[in-house]
């Protein structure tokens, strides 16, 4: 554990906190607030939620920041409310209304074919107000400056869209999708297919693989705890890894891998693996076509024991 200063010192804190992000704040704003509440020296999030959005935002601290990219690439699910009949410049309710059109009479029978057309492997144009960069500049900065932003369509995967409610100009949907999918774009494209336009009015992230039934912590709850209680809300980094392909190694092999050595591992299929030693994840490695195990990113020895208390919650054992 590394310390910095005395009073208000930031410590090496390792683990994952499943935050219930509030509306109105950016993902980085809430990350920095939780970092201060924990007194952590290293932190990162696993893919931004829009300020309008709420719900699951896994925050990684210490050694867990090394797996943030894996969680960023995971499948996700959202509950989304949409307003039909209005198109906005941001594709959500935070934007300026550009066009208003009449809304046709809709029911499940008419809506379901349009929802099915947005499922599977599709081409999607990201919103102009997004963090995607063009020539090194985030698209939202160009849009705020009044520049015309047209981002190239990208291939994304939508596993399913379920209609929950339809009431005049209001829709409620549940969306399961792969990494990189913009729900705002799905709603925009649905509105255009219906001929009336649409935008997101509320968005909540329900889960991120592997946290299918997460016990989330609100900022208010964290602020009401002392710092030691907050740290017990953390899950160990292993909780974010048990769904991924694994290789068990013994102590001698682990030592050689930590020294940067490659090992013959012909029994394993080509691909990337999480390395496990006696129930602890020690890092990421890849087996190449020649059957050689190559260390890619290893975790530091002696992770702090986090996630022992309340952090186990509904997701406590991190089902594989």
Show which residues are catalytic: 50
Instruction: Please answer whether residues 93 and 187 qualify as being in contact, where contact means their C-beta atoms are separated by less than 8 angstroms.
Output: no
| Cα(160)–Cα(170) distance, integer angstroms | 20
Name the pairing type of β-strands 137-138 and 154-167: unpaired
Tokens of 264: 């013959």
Handedness of CA 17, 18, 20, 21 (dihedral sign): positive
Q: What are the tokens at 5?
A: 């200063």
Query: Nearest to residue 83, comparing CAs of 66, 72, 95?
Result: 95
Contact 87, 201 (CB under 8 A): no
What is the distance between the alpha carbons of residues 298 and 78, in angstroms, rounded to a whole number? 32
Of 201, 202, 193, give the one whose Cα is nearest residue 101: 193
Instruction: Write the CB contacts of 147 (distance below 8 Å, at least 6 apart in sequence).
Output: none
Task: Say if residues 52 and 87 touch (Cβ distance below 8 Å).
Answer: no
- Indicate the SS3 state at residue 320: coil
User: How many whole angstroms from its chain centre is CA 116?
Assistant: 24
């Amino acid at each position: 554990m590394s310390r910095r200063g005395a009073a208000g010192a930031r410590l090496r804190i390792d683990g994952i906190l499943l935050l219930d992000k509030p509306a109105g704040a950016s993902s980085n704003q809430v990350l920095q607030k939780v970092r201060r509440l924990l007194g952590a020296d290293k932190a990162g999030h696993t893919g931004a939620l829009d300020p309008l959005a709420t719900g699951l935002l896994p925050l990684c601290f210490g050694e867990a920041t090394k797996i943030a990219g894996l969680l960023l690439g995971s499948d996700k699910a959202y509950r989304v409310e949409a307003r039909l009949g209005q198109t906005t410049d941001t594709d959500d309710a935070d934007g300026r209304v550009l066009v208003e059109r009449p809304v046709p009479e809709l029911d499940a029978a008419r809506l379901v074919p349009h929802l099915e057309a947005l499922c599977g492997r599709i081409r999607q144009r990201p919103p102009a107000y997004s963090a995607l960069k063009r020539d090194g500049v985030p698209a939202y900065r160009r849009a705020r400056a009044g520049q015309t932003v047209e981002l190239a369509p990208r291939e994304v995967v939508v596993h399913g869209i379920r209609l929950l409610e339809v009431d005049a100009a209001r829709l409620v949907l549940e969306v399961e999708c792969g990494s990189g999918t913009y729900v705002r774009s799905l709603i925009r494209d649905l509105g255009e297919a219906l001929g009336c336009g649409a935008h997101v009015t509320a968005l909540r992230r329900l889960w991120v693989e592997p946290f299918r039934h997460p016990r989330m912590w609100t900022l208010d709850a964290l602020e009401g705890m002392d710092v030691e209680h907050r740290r017990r809300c953390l899950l160990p980094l292993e909780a974010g890894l048990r769904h991924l392909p694994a290789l068990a190694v013994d102590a001698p092999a682990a030592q050689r891998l930590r020294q940067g050595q490659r090992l013959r591992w012909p029994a394993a299929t080509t691909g990337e693996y999480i390395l496990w030693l006696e129930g602890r994840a020690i890092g990421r490695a890849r087996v190449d076509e020649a059957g050689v195990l190559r260390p890619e990113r290893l975790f530091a020895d002696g992770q702090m024991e986090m996630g022992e208390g309340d952090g186990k919650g509904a997701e406590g054992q991190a089902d594989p």
